Every structure is written in C-alpha cells, then in structure tokens.
Amino acid sequence: MSFEQVLFIIVSLILLASALGAVFARRIMHSALLAVAAFTGVGGIYAILGSHFLAVAQVLIYIGAVAIVLLFAVMLSQQREISGSNPVRKQKLWKNWVTWAAFGVGLVMVLYFTVNLATPTASQEIPLIHTEPATSLEGLSELLFREYLVPFELVSLLLLLVVIGAVVIARKENDPQ
C-alpha cells in the first residue's frame, strides 16, 4: 500500500464521517459546518487523484460560496428557534420498506460493480488511476475554451440569471428595491 493509497483512505474516511454527520446532526448549524468539512474532504480527494485545479475550484466554489450561502440560510431561518427541527423525519418513510429496499438494491449494485472492478481477471489487470502525471492547466484551458466554449458561455449566462433570480426571490415583498 503506497502512501497515496493510505492518504486516500484517511481522507475518504474523514469525508464519509463528515457526510454522515451532516445528515444526522441534530442542529442545522452543525450540519452545515460538517458539510463544509465534507466539501473540504472532496477537494482533498481531487488533489490526491491529480486534479489539482479542480481541487482548488472545489474549495473556492463550495466552501467559499455554497457553504457561506448555506450558513446564511441557516441563520436566517433559525431566527426563532422552536425546539429545533427534527433531524430525521419521523415518518413512514423512515420505516418504509420501500426506502430501505431501494437502498438495499443500490448497495448490492454498488458492491457488485466495485468488486467486479476490484477483482483481477485473466485478461486485464484491475484499473488503476495514475495519480502522476497531474492534469495540466494548459490542457484544461485548451479543452475548456475550444471544445466546450459554448457550454462555458451558457453556464456564465446561467450564473447571471441565477444571481438575479435569487435576489428577486429572496428580497422582501414590500421592498421595491
């Protein structure tokens, strides 16, 4: 087991733990903070895998923007706390066999595929990700501004719209600003 693998395992464990915590935390604030930790973990994964740019982008976008917005929303919606919202819906859905069946099936599938991939067959070796060499920034930008130019422009338009829209939605009614 190489250093990278160990590192990978550690980071993924932290990630998963944070994710679990984010889901099952009693208070939203904790949940949001743990989400931040999860995002960080994901960024770490990207870095280990060799997508350095994406790792940085992850931190910038998610932790720098999404998490902030999350926290703002949490704070705005909790101005008067009333016995906290139940973390987990105590409803049929939790006891519902359909839900757990779905999970069961999904789990089986995931395990099957991963195990499939993890077992070496006669014809090929198990797939490995080569963490070195890392993705070059030049190559990325080449791709982005050449082949994916149109999507790039569209996404920027989308972002613009989203900003405007969010402002419109979130502002107060009687405020004609």
Binding mask 85-124 for other proteins (x = CB under 8 A): xxxxx-x-xx---xx--xx-xxx-xx--xxx-xx------
* String of DSSP letters for 28-70: HHHHHHHHHHHHHHHHHHHHHHT-HHHHHHHIIIIIIIIHHHH
| Pick 42 or 122: Cβ nearer other proteins | 42
Residue 150 found at the interface with other proteins (CB under 8 A): no
72/88 Cα distance (integer angstroms): 22
For the beta carbon of residue 28, count every other beta carbon within 10 angstroms: 20
CB of 123 to other proteins, least distance (A): 16
In the region spanning residues 35 to 74, those forming contacts with other proteins, defined by CB under 8 A, are: 35, 38-39, 42, 45-46, 48-51, 53-54, 57-58, 61-62, 65-66, 69-70, 72-74
CB of 136 to other proteins, least distance (A): 8
- Asked if 4 and 49 touch (Cβ cutoff 8 Å), the reply is no
